[in-house]
Structure 1
Amino acid sequence: MPYATQQDMIDRFGSPRLQQLTDIEEPLLGAIRPAVIAAKLADADAEIDGYLIGRYELPLAAWPAILKVHACSICWYRLLGSSADEPARRDYEDALAYLVKVARGDVVVVAPSAAPPVSGAGAVLFDAGSKVFGRES
């Protein structure tokens, strides 16, 4: 299952810009070419899986939403190609930095619904105690 979909890309970057980047072959369709976005999303998934494969059994049954964000950033950077601007490059580098942390084990990739319960020290109890100094003493 892909980490992000074409609709995620549309929601994040808008249809006009995606059409501009994907509808580049003759005959022009005047619309987004789903095959182009699907190929770039598959590339992003492969790149993400390359970092996850040493730590997790793939494909993941569930994952945190941040993987969708990073998949979109990687796909966007790949769609822009040589015309990638500074924000796109920075988002791509941030995605890679996150994935490196996952590969090192500094960050755990777990869907919120699958997160283990947090063990705590129990309930907090406050005891004000008695006065040591006052008007009486």
Structure 2
Amino acid sequence: MAYATQQNMADRYGDDQLLIVADRDNDSVVDAAVIEQALLDASAEIDTYVAAKYALPLSTVPTVLTRLCVDISMYRLAADRDIATEERRKRYEDAVYLLRRIATGEVSLGIQTPPPSSNGAVVVTSQARRFGRGKKLL
């Protein structure tokens, strides 16, 4: 599941910018499959960081992840077309920087985190033995 939609991208960057980066067959129509794949790729990249602190899939998508997904997708689409600008590169780098901070716990997504896991060892405690060698039965 992608953290953003084509409409989120259009809202942030505009239809003209989407047309520039995602019209692969030059028919003056945004190729929805290209956008969808870019959003899925960006979401997978985001998951690699978010999974360090949160159980996936997330029950809700924080707004910040939608923004990061859009920025990462736009940068990658522009880079594929050889039209990546300094601004897009900076937005991508800022997104990765924030994701690293989320992964270390320095920044929170504001959602519930799972309880810390143990090392897998099971410890069983019980009362002292009641029967055994050397013990008399009453």
TM-score of the superposed pair, with normalisation by structure 2: 0.74
| Alpha-carbon separation, structure 2, partners of 1:106 and 1:63 | 19
| Residue aligned with 2:110, SS | coil
Letter in 2 for 1:39: Q
Report the equivalent of 1:34.
32
Letter in 1 for 2:84: A
| Residue aligned with 1:62, SS | coil
TM-score of the superposed pair, with normalisation by structure 1: 0.75
1:8-61 per-position Cα deviation (integer Å, ceiling 9, x unaligned): 001111112211221122xx4321110000000001000000001121111101
Letter in 1 for 2:13: F
Report the equivalent of 1:44.
42
2:2/2:40 contact within 8 Å kept: yes
| Alpha-carbon separation, structure 1, partners of 2:64 and 2:16 | 25
Long gaps (5+) in structure 2:
113-138
Letter in 2 for 1:54: A
Which of 57, 74, 80 does residue 59 from structure 1 map onto?
57
| Alpha-carbon separation, structure 2, partners of 1:48 and 1:67 | 8
1:63/1:109 contact within 8 Å kept: no
Report the equivalent of 1:96.
96
Within a 5 Å distance, the mapping from 1:70-85 to structure 2 comes to 70-81=68-79, 82-85=82-85
Q: Percent identity?
A: 40
| Alpha-carbon separation, structure 2, partners of 1:47 and 1:4 | 13
| Alpha-carbon separation, structure 2, partners of 1:70 and 1:98 | 9
What value does the CA root-mean-square deviation take over the aligned residues?
1.7
How many residues align? The count is 111
Divergent runs of 4+, >6 A? none
Long gaps (5+) in structure 1:
115-137
1:33-90 per-position Cα deviation (integer Å, ceiling 9, x unaligned): 1000000000100000000112111110113211111111000000100321111011
